Amino acid sequence: MLATEKRSAPLPLTCLSEEEKMFQSSVRKFARERLAPYVREMDEAGVFRKDLLKEFFDLGLMAIDVPEQYEGQGGYFFQSILAIEELAKVDPSAAVIVDVQNTLFNNAIQRWASEEQKRKYFPRLAKDTVASYALSEAGSGSDAFAMATRAIDAGDHFRITGRKLWITNAAEAGLFLLFANANPEAGYKGITAFLIEREFPGFKVGKKEDKLGIRSSSTCELILDDCRVPKANVVGEIGKGYKIAIETLNEGRIGIGSQMVGLAQGALDHALQYSKQRKQFGKPISEFQGVQFDLAEMAVEVEAARLMVYNAARLRDAGLPFVTEAAMCKYFASQVAERAASRAVEVLGGVGFTKDYPVEKLYRDAKIGRIYEGTSNMQRVTIAKQMLKDG
């Protein structure tokens, strides 16, 4: 018999460090105590409360993995994922705000911005400035690089003209990471990333969309009419915007996966609670096998999606390849969220179809998960291409 080295069992992906547990607990407490009372009101108004936004900043949720030298929290990507998940259990709209700030905007600045740009903007992003990520246009959705927005070199600055659509956080944002083509003849290799302040001349936030779900998370058009942007506000190099966008969106998809896991868990929690309280034929409906089967299947899918999201996030933090895993977790978690929210409505029955209970809102919120930051079809393409490449 061969001698074997005694090894401790590997920790499950969902096992958190004490630091992570404390962080998760603090976000959960905030979401339940401060956020929950206003969710319905904000959804109906289609506006996120400014006082809650301020509390996001006060708690450090808008600069989780921004280094302390720039007045951030000095955390890491996985902590952002935990925060997004906990917020989404209560209100996916709140999770979207924190998600875009951390996994898209801050992440891109940390990796691609100059030292001067970091020193100038990170403290603002940590203190009071909401950020937005402006890539999509009317003619460039899944084909994000078919953009029509143009940036013309004008010496010490660029003049940018065009329109962006479906831009998250735009109503509240003071700073935008915006993509425009500075050399259309070069195709996608002319795309360049710019930091645009809301007050720049020629820049305007336009129509706010009236949406099915995540209604208190703003989604607006941006209008650029000969907007003057200093060359010092080019992020990375001219023509490298496509690379910045692709790499950032890969990480952003893990954030969407986390949103959907939180939403699905929230739906399951509501269904569990209601099933224990609602009585039919003299006993709680939780004692009926049909209801139990629904709850069990929801729980299995939510846990599977969580494992996929956590795995992708841990790979990213470890500096290992994660593109396929990010696409997988975004694709699967968005499906799980939609099914879990639908089943929760059915467990609650008639009241689940009314606005008096939160599952109706979660059902509406879930649909966007299969659309933004790469549709489900685009995730299938990414997964298949990687499989064929590796095979």
Check which CATH number belongs to the domain holding 347 and give it. 1.20.140.10
Instruction: State whether 248 and 385 are in the same domain.
Output: yes
pLDDT of residue 140: 86
pLDDT of 281 over the 70 cut? yes
Confidence of residue 7 (pLDDT cuts 50, 70, 90): very low
Q: Is 65 helix (H, G, I), strand (E, B) or coil?
A: coil
Residue 352 maps to a domain: yes
In 231-305, at which residue ranges do the beta strands (DSSP E only) sit?
A: 234-235, 279-280, 283-284
Q: Which of 143, 141, 99, 142 has the alpha carbon at shortest distance from 333?
A: 99
Of residues 391 and 182, the one with the higher pLDDT is 182
Q: Is 131 helix (H, G, I), strand (E, B) or coil?
A: strand
pLDDT tens figures, 346-359? 999 999 999 999 99
In the chain, the percentage of residues whose pLDDT exceeds 70 is 97
Instruction: State whether 229 and 325 are in the same domain.
Output: no
Tell me phi and psi for residue 205, to 5 degrees. Answer: -85, 125
Instruction: State whether 263 and 180 are in the same domain.
Output: no
Instruction: State whether 23 and 124 are in the same domain.
Output: yes
Domains in the chain, number: 3
Pairing of the two strands 191-197 and 131-134: unpaired
pLDDT of residue 223: 98
What residues are annotated to the active site? 373
pLDDT tens figures, 228-269? 999 999 999 999 999 999 999 999 999 999 999 999 999 999
- Which residue range(s) make up the domain with 198? 132-239
Last-in-domain residue among 99, 130, 161: 130
Average pLDDT rounded to a whole number, residues 329-345: 98
pLDDT of 10 over the 70 cut? no
Instruction: State whether 246 and 370 are in the same domain.
Output: yes
Confidence of residue 146 (pLDDT cuts 50, 70, 90): confident
pLDDT of 107 over the 70 cut? yes
Last-in-domain residue among 207, 239, 271: 239
Round to the nearest angstrom and report the end-to-end CA distance of the chain.
36
Instruction: State whether 246 and 235 are in the same domain.
Output: no
Instruction: State whether 314 and 251 are in the same domain.
Output: yes
Last-in-domain residue among 95, 130, 165: 130
